[in-house]
Amino acid sequence: MLDEEKAKRSVLAAGFQEKMNKLSSDISVNKDSRQEEYEKNQEIRTKISEAIETYKVKETEYKANMEVLNCKIKDF
């Protein structure tokens, strides 16, 4: 009877360990996938920030040019 209990516990422990190993593997795969997604998002954020800065510079230049033109029109 004790041998049967020991065998059942051993089977349960082995099954539990197998499930834990599978879960650890799945978590590792998900971690790698999430890391890749994070890095891609960072690249996109950087590109968006650069585009915003470029837009701000061009907008400032446009406003300055418009001021010059307005002054010329007033003087004309």
Reported as a single tens digit per residue, the pLDDT across 35-52 is 999 999 999 999 999 999
Distance CA 73, CA 67 (A): 10
Q: What is the reported pTM?
A: 0.60
Q: Kindly report, residue by residue over 3-12, the tens digit of the pLDDT.
A: 889 999 999 9
> Rounded CA gap, 28 and 35, in Å?
11
pLDDT tier, 75 (very low <50, low <70, confident <90, very high otherwise): confident
Please give the angle made by the CA atoms of 14, 20 and 21, to the nearest 5 degrees.
90
Q: How many CA atoms lie within 13 A of 21 on its CB side?
A: 6
Q: What is the mean pLDDT of the chain?
A: 94
pLDDT > 90 in the chain, percent: 82
